[in-house]
C-alpha cells in the first residue's frame, strides 16, 4: 500500500452487495447523499470495465461541469505564468475545452494519436504495481469522479481535474509519454517492494511535483502542482533542492497539505536525463534502495 492510498475514499461492496464509497467526516461530500450515490455509480462502472474497452460515459451534473469550468479556466491562466514550456506546448496539442467536463474516453481519443497512450477508469485506489505496470503498456488508469462542487478549488483526492489537466497534458507529449512508459517497465522488472517504493518517491517528486529551471526562473513540471490552483500559488515558498534520487528517497511527503520540500531540475533536458538514468539503472540490489 502506498502513501497516496490515504487520499482515496475507499470503494467497497456493502452489505446489500452494492458498490459504495466511504467518505471521511472531513470530506466535502460527507453529508451529500446524491453526490455519494453518484460516486458509487461511477465506481461501479469502473469496476465493470474491461481493459481495451473505452472508459464508460459518466452523466456529469451541471454543477460538476461548472466546477470544471471554474477550475480549468483558473488553471490555464496560472499555467501561462508558471508552467514549463513542454507543458504549455502539450496543452496546446491536447486543447481541452473549458466549458464542459470531458468524458475520459474523449480525452483518451485525443491523447492516443499523439503518443499512443490510452486512459482507462480506476474505481479508486489502484494497487501500486498494477498502476505503474499498466504504464508499460501505455495505459493510464484514471479516476472519473470530480471533486465536490462546494469546494471547487480543493480536492482531498485525485479527481478528473488532476488526471486530465495534469497527466492528460503530460501524456500528450512524446517526451513525457516515453518517461511514463519507462517508469512502467522499470516497476515491472523490479521484484522488491523497497525498490518499487523508491521509484514511487522519485515519481512523486518529479512527475507529480517536479520543478525545472527555465530562462533563469523556476517553472513547474509536475502534474499535481499543475492541477492545483492553490499549490501553484504556494510552490515558490517551499524549500527547493536540486534533483537527487537519494534525497527524494529520504524525503517524507505529505499528501494532505502543500509540499514543504520540492526538487528542481536544471532544464527539461536534465529532467528527462535524470529520470531515464535513474529508471534504467535502478535494480533490487541498488545502494539507493538499501539507503
Residue 163 DSSP one-character state:
I
Whether residue 170 is annotated as binding a ligand: the answer is no
- Give SS3 for 162: helix
- Give SS3 for 283: coil
- What radius of gyration, in Å, describes the C-alpha atoms of the chain? 18
Beta strands in 11-72, from DSSP E residues, in sequence order: 11-13, 19-21
Q: Could you tell me if 76 and 212 are in contact, meaning their C-beta atoms sit under 8 angstroms apart? A: no
Whether residue 162 is annotated as binding a ligand: the answer is yes
Rounded CA separation 166/158 (Å):
10
> What percent helix, strand, coil does the chain show, rounded to 5?
50, 10, 35
Q: Could you tell me if 197 and 1 are in contact, meaning their C-beta atoms sit under 8 angstroms apart? A: no
Q: Could you tell me if 235 and 262 are in contact, meaning their C-beta atoms sit under 8 angstroms apart? A: yes
What is the CB-side half-sphere exposure of residue 74 using CA atoms within 13 A? Answer: 17
| Catalytic positions, written as ranges | 162, 167, 208, 227
Rounded CA separation 72/66 (Å):
10
- The distance of Cα 47 from the centroid of its chain, to the nearest Å, equals 20
Q: Which residues are annotated as a binding site for Fe cation?
A: 162, 167, 208
Summarize the annotated binding site as residue ranges. Answer: 162, 167, 208
Amino acid at each position: 500500500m502506498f502513501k497516496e492510498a490515504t487520499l482515496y475514499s475507499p470503494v467497497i461492496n456493502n452489505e446489500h452487495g452494492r458498490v459504495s464509497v466511504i467518505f471521511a467526516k472531513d470530506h466535502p461530500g460527507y453529508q451529500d447523499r446524491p453526490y455519494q450515490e453518484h460516486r458509487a455509480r461511477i465506481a461501479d462502472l469502473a469496476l465493470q470495465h474491461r481493459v481495451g474497452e473505452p472508459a464508460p460515459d459518466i452523466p456529469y451534473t451541471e454543477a460538476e461541469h461548472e466546477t470544471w469550468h471554474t477550475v480549468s479556466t483558473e488553471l490555464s491562466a496560472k499555467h501561462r505564468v508558471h508552467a514549463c514550456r513542454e507543458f504549455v506546448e502539450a496543452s496546446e496539442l491536447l486543447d481541452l475545452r473549458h466549458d464542459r467536463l470531458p468524458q475520459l474516453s474523449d480525452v483518451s481519443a485525443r491523447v492516443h494519436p499523439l503518443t499512443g497512450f490510452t486512459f482507462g477508469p480506476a474505481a479508486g485506489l489502484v494497487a501500486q504495481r498494477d498502476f505503474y505496470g499498466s504504464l508499460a503498456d501505455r495505459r493510464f488508469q484514471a479516476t472519473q469522479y470530480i471533486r465536490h462542487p462546494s469546494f471547487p478549488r480543493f480536492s482531498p483526492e485525485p479527481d478528473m481535474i488532476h488526471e486530465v489537466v495534469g497527466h492528460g497534458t503530460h501524456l500528450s507529449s512524446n517526451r513525457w509519454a516515453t518517461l511514463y512508459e519507462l517508469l512502467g517497465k522499470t516497476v515491472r522488472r523490479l521484484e522488491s517492494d523497497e525498490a518499487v517504493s523508491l521509484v514511487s518517491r522519485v515519481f512523486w517528486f518529479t512527475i507529480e511535483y517536479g520543478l525545472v529551471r527555465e530562462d533563469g526562473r523556476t517553472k513547474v513540471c509536475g502534474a499535481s502542482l499543475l492541477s492545483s490552483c492553490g499549490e501553484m500559488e504556494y510552490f515558490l515558498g517551499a524549500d527547493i533542492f536540486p534533483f537527487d534520487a537519494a534525497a527524494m528517497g529520504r524525503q517524507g511527503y505529505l499528501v494532505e497539505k502543500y509540499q514543504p520540500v520540492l526538487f528542481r531540475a536544471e532544464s527539461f533536458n536534465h529532467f528527462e536525463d535524470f529520470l531515464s538514468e535513474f529508471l534504467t539503472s535502478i535494480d533490487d540490489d541498488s545502494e539507493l534502495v538499501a539507503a
